[in-house]
Chains A and B, each alone.
Chain A
Amino acid sequence: MRDLLPEDMVRFRRIEDVFRACCCSWGYREVRTPTLEYLHLFTATGTLTPGMLGKVYSFLDWDGWSGERVVLRPDGTIPVARLYIDNMSGQKFARLFYVTNIFAFEGTGKQNRERWQCGAEFFGGARPAADVETILLAAEVIRKLGLNAVELRLSHAGLVKALLKEFSLSPAEEVKMTSRILEGDWHALAKAKCPNPEVGRLVAALLALKGKSSSFLHNVKASFPKASPDFKDSLEDLISISTLLDNQGCQYKIDIAAAHGFEYYTGVCFQFLAAGEKIGGGGRYDNLVPLMNGGSIPACGFALYVDPIMKLVPLEKEKKGKSGILVKGEELNPETVKACFALAESLRDTGYSAEIDFTGRDESDFRWVILVSRNKPSPFVVKDCVRRRPRYSGASLEEVLKVVSEG
């Protein structure tokens, strides 16, 4: 469990503000789903893996005698898909975004159980243009946040599924292998014995090589002519997406191992990494809406992970240290208090932040300190805490505002 302190919230709001502004400018509209959802929303195949479901906070509802359980939202995308199906299914296209917290059971006590994410989903968006749109939108947010050295990695769930199929595993083994891969254990696949040696070679090559442009994918296509039709279809899809990204000057690495985390992905999957940490990810999930009985609506989306980004996002310098105005009453009598509140109100109305104090608070954090006393004719003395100019005393309210505004 973690508190977000004032400094943290400055960073949090900055991320949220940049994200919201970008999404709005791309035509996305904000939604918010409830913190509690029904468990069964997440249990069907193709939603969350058993490993992830083992970590949800679930409990009985008020009518728990029926056995129905609710969960603290363990994922951002599935609830938004439900929202779209329940409320907006008449619309062929829906560009939606959200800022939300998600909850996961955490056995070690060392990680956060509550995590925040900024996500955008594009329902009805057909490939490959919609895939490229979500990737570019995510990249724009990251760029506007001022994050440096962010790496984009591309993979494709269809490629992974096509490769798995070649191993002719039993359904139970395939489920197990899928779970391991989704949890990031690619060695399992590399070690598994494939009846077709060509596929073994292909897996080894894809795990060893990291392509940097669509040319790499063309090379793969040319080197493995006997790959299955499913594999080739997915490869073509990834080629078309990467070609569009090349045209946009968007840099990326092709890394088949970047497909992990969620079972619902069907097409391109991508991850953003910075300082060795995943700061976002997304992909295409064409089966999710049909699986939830929402009709055959293709969709794709992404989420940026607020917690790691907060550690990386630079803050504007002038905000640190001296800012704001301290209105300091010299005595605690009705007349002075009244004068203090009136002054603070005028300052706020003019657009400054003003803090009132009667207790001798430390002045070092403030740009200006205005002492308020019962002195006549004017009760104000203005201290400039930055430029150390002589005090300006005997000022009227209008004069105070003028001095402050001239800096």
Chain B
Amino acid sequence: MKDYQVGYIKLALPKGRFLWPTASLLGEIGLGLSGYSDKTKQYRLRSTRFPDLSAKILQEKDIPIQVAVGNYDLGICGSDWIEELVMKYPAGSLVKISSLSYGEGGIYAVTSAQAGIANLDDLLARRNDCRIVSEYPNLAEALALNLRMRRFRIFPVWGAAEVYPPENADLAVLWGKSAAHIAKQGLIPLKKLLPVTAFLIANRESLESKDLSRILTCFNSQLSAEPQISIENELDISKELNIPCPLWPAKEINLALPDGHQQAPTAQFLKQAGLAVQGYSEGGVSRRPSADLDWLGIKVIRPQDMPLQVANGNFDLAITGEDWLREHLYRFPSSPVKKLFALGFGTVKIVAAVSQGMPVRNIADLRAFVQSSPDYIGAPLKVASEYVNIADKYLRDNRISPYRLIPTWGASEAFLPEDADILIDNTQTGKTLKEHNLKIIDVLFQSSACLIANKNSLRSPGKKEKTAFLTEKLRAGLK
């Protein structure tokens, strides 16, 4: 399977925010890659101009890692995800070739206007520890270390970092269009860590030994002459920002509701249960919808983050998927999070799948295959999954050895067969897997939306009655 790659120049292209500007850039410089759009259902692109150039569309977050490990020679992604990687692994094999002419906003350290912190000195003067929430845990850690914070805790999240301060975090490290844009959300930008622009990056080994010149020449006209961005570039933040200071009083009971795919069915479920939540069911814009119950606080966050946020007591109850609950419990078996009941929607299967071409039908075959044909897959077995703890446990339980996990941010099917040998991911019908020439070799479990709770909240005298009331109200939605 490795032979497929020899002689090819491989380019990793981003999904999401940079897809359109990148597609238009590639059109201009004439790489001849057609089909790079958000409507495309395929991940692999071939160049009509350069027969040895191939490209793959990946989640932007995955691109720096994939280029660093050498699965791709070149890649395009935002400076934020590059810095997030090199901050922790500075001696890695990632080379920033140049910034491209597009990008927007920057990564900021922000706090809530309500927290009474006006600048970094105020933050550092506080006696208690600093809770930092971020999609960029390495950038957040570097910030905390450089500020010489005496005690801090970092909570990595999959998204929605802006909704955590002030109740659930003291500081958030997040992307914002501008300081004013951040201020509009009731947050104070304390420090701009770096501007976000798209970068052309390369694998060091490829750059040192492989002829990439024809492709790099095409980029020439677009390579920006600006100095390379480093994390130390600090821009002035205007003190004249007009920051609204909304009042978010602490509530007795806190509920987390999911955004994304789960939002519409969850809204429908709440309606069935007779719980009116304003700012959620309308396909909502609000991260803080409200209910008629004055003691109930609601926040909309990523379902992936909920078990941990319930465990640490930020929320008493949450609606998430059983997959994410298991992912959490496999990592932290003594966590105080508990499933109360399934809600009957959002049902998916968590499966193990391999490429059609791999001669295995089930996990036992795979085990034998890994042991007998290490050359075929180039041991260790590479496993792509967004559920790293579930995948880890599954492979351990099934005595697959050796293996290496490649954490992904969804769409693991794009990794097979070139960049991974097996995926562990969710599927509703199995259709997408089939379309990408993959076959399911095992179903790990079935998962659907469920109500989870913090065990301590269920027992605590101050919360017991109201959590029971809310739980019963939601249970009514099942009928």
Q: A residues touching B (Cβ–Cβ < 8 Å)?
A: 40, 43-45, 50, 53-54, 60, 62-69, 107-108, 175
Residue interface bits B324-347, CB-to-A below 8 A is 1, else 0: 000010011011010000000000
Q: B residues touching A (Cβ–Cβ < 8 Å)?
A: 88-92, 129, 131, 142, 144-146, 148-155, 307-308, 311-312, 328, 331-332, 334-335, 337
With contacts A40-B150, A43-B150, A45-B148 known, what are 17 further pairs, Cβ within 8 A?
A40-B151, A40-B152, A43-B148, A43-B151, A43-B152, A44-B148, A53-B145, A54-B88, A64-B332, A65-B337, A67-B131, A67-B153, A67-B154, A67-B155, A107-B89, A107-B91, A108-B91
**Given A63-B334, A66-B312, A44–B150 Cβ distance below 8 Å?**
yes
Q: What is the total of A-B residue contacts with beta carbons within 8 Å?
A: 59
CB distance from B307 to the nearest CB of A (A): 8
Measured in the bound complex, the distance between the Cα atoms of B151 and A383 in whole Å is: 68
From B142, B312, B334, contact of A54 by CB (8 A): B142
Measured in the bound complex, the distance between the Cα atoms of B154 and A62 in whole Å is: 15
CB distance from B438 to the nearest CB of A (A): 32
CB contacts (< 8 Å) of A107 on chain B: these are 89-92
Measured in the bound complex, the distance between the Cα atoms of B153 and A40 in whole Å is: 9
CB distance from B91 to the nearest CB of A (A): 3
**B145, A65: Cβ atoms closer than 8 Å:** no
CB contacts (< 8 Å) of A69 on chain B: these are 153-154
From A50, A54, A62, A65, contact of B308 by CB (8 A): A65
CB contacts (< 8 Å) of B152 on chain A: these are 40, 43
List the A residue with the shortest CB-CB distance to B153. Answer: A67
Measured in the bound complex, the distance between the Cα atoms of B154 and A175 in whole Å is: 23
Measured in the bound complex, the distance between the Cα atoms of B153 and A107 in whole Å is: 24
**Given A40-B151, A45-B150, A107-B89, A67–B145 Cβ distance below 8 Å?**
no
CB contacts (< 8 Å) of B148 on chain A: these are 43-45, 50, 175
**B331, A64: Cβ atoms closer than 8 Å:** yes
**A54, B332: Cβ atoms closer than 8 Å:** no
Measured in the bound complex, the distance between the Cα atoms of B85 and A107 in whole Å is: 13
A-B contact pairs, 26 of them (CB 8 A): A40-B129, A40-B150, A40-B152, A43-B148, A43-B149, A43-B151, A44-B148, A44-B150, A45-B148, A50-B146, A53-B145, A54-B88, A54-B142, A62-B334, A65-B307, A65-B312, A65-B328, A66-B153, A66-B311, A67-B131, A67-B153, A67-B154, A68-B153, A69-B154, A107-B92, A175-B146
**A50, B145: Cβ atoms closer than 8 Å:** yes
Measured in the bound complex, the distance between the Cα atoms of B148 and A14 in whole Å is: 40
CB distance from B96 to the nearest CB of A (A): 17
Measured in the bound complex, the distance between the Cα atoms of B305 and A65 in whole Å is: 11
CB contacts (< 8 Å) of B151 on chain A: these are 40, 43-44
CB contacts (< 8 Å) of A45 on chain B: these are 148, 150
List the A residue with the shortest CB-CB distance to B310. Answer: A65
CB distance from A291 to the nearest CB of B (A): 9
CB contacts (< 8 Å) of B92 on chain A: these are 107
CB distance from B477 to the nearest CB of A (A): 28
List the B residue with the shortest CB-CB distance to A40. Answer: B151
**B145, A54: Cβ atoms closer than 8 Å:** yes
**B145, A43: Cβ atoms closer than 8 Å:** yes
**A62, B332: Cβ atoms closer than 8 Å:** yes
Measured in the bound complex, the distance between the Cα atoms of B150 and A44 in whole Å is: 4
CB contacts (< 8 Å) of A40 on chain B: these are 129, 150-152
List the A residue with the shortest CB-CB distance to B88. Answer: A54
Measured in the bound complex, the distance between the Cα atoms of B152 and A107 in whole Å is: 24
Measured in the bound complex, the distance between the Cα atoms of B337 and A62 in whole Å is: 14
CB contacts (< 8 Å) of B308 on chain A: these are 65
CB distance from A117 to the nearest CB of B (A): 23
Measured in the bound complex, the distance between the Cα atoms of B131 and A197 in whole Å is: 45
CB contacts (< 8 Å) of B335 on chain A: these are 63, 65
Measured in the bound complex, the distance between the Cα atoms of B140 and A67 in whole Å is: 13
CB contacts (< 8 Å) of A54 on chain B: these are 88, 142, 145
Measured in the bound complex, the distance between the Cα atoms of B92 and A67 in whole Å is: 27
List the A residue with the shortest CB-CB distance to B87. Answer: A54
CB distance from B238 to the nearest CB of A (A): 19
**B90, A65: Cβ atoms closer than 8 Å:** no
CB distance from B476 to the nearest CB of A (A): 30
CB contacts (< 8 Å) of B153 on chain A: these are 66-69
CB contacts (< 8 Å) of B150 on chain A: these are 40, 43-45
Measured in the bound complex, the distance between the Cα atoms of B146 and A64 in whole Å is: 23
CB distance from B257 to the nearest CB of A (A): 20
Measured in the bound complex, the distance between the Cα atoms of B129 and A43 in whole Å is: 12
Measured in the bound complex, the distance between the Cα atoms of B149 and A44 in whole Å is: 6
CB contacts (< 8 Å) of B332 on chain A: these are 60, 62-65
List the A residue with the shortest CB-CB distance to B129. Answer: A40
Measured in the bound complex, the distance between the Cα atoms of B124 and A44 in whole Å is: 11
CB distance from B323 to the nearest CB of A (A): 17
List the A residue with the shortest CB-CB distance to B314. Answer: A65
Measured in the bound complex, the distance between the Cα atoms of B142 and A107 in whole Å is: 16
CB contacts (< 8 Å) of B145 on chain A: these are 43, 50, 53-54
Q: Which 7 A-B pairs have the closest CB atoms?
A: A107-B91, A67-B153, A65-B311, A50-B145, A45-B148, A44-B150, A40-B151
List the A residue with the shortest CB-CB distance to B89. Answer: A107
Measured in the bound complex, the distance between the Cα atoms of B154 and A40 in whole Å is: 12
Measured in the bound complex, the distance between the Cα atoms of B213 and A395 in whole Å is: 83
CB contacts (< 8 Å) of B334 on chain A: these are 62-63
CB distance from B173 to the nearest CB of A (A): 14
CB distance from A284 to the nearest CB of B (A): 21
List the A residue with the shortest CB-CB distance to B333. Answer: A62
Among the interface residues B89, B131, B148, which one has the most CB atoms of the partner chain A within 10 A? Answer: B148
Measured in the bound complex, the distance between the Cα atoms of B309 and A66 in whole Å is: 9
CB contacts (< 8 Å) of A175 on chain B: these are 146, 148
CB distance from B236 to the nearest CB of A (A): 14
Measured in the bound complex, the distance between the Cα atoms of B151 and A275 in whole Å is: 40
Measured in the bound complex, the distance between the Cα atoms of B308 and A65 in whole Å is: 5
CB distance from B433 to the nearest CB of A (A): 32
CB distance from A134 to the nearest CB of B (A): 28
List the B residue with the shortest CB-CB distance to A51. Answer: B145
CB distance from A406 to the nearest CB of B (A): 56
CB contacts (< 8 Å) of A43 on chain B: these are 144-145, 148-152
CB distance from A262 to the nearest CB of B (A): 15
Measured in the bound complex, the distance between the Cα atoms of B150 and A68 in whole Å is: 13
CB contacts (< 8 Å) of A60 on chain B: these are 331-332
CB distance from A201 to the nearest CB of B (A): 31
Measured in the bound complex, the distance between the Cα atoms of B151 and A51 in whole Å is: 17
CB contacts (< 8 Å) of B331 on chain A: these are 60, 64
Measured in the bound complex, the distance between the Cα atoms of B337 and A22 in whole Å is: 54
CB contacts (< 8 Å) of A50 on chain B: these are 142, 145-146, 148
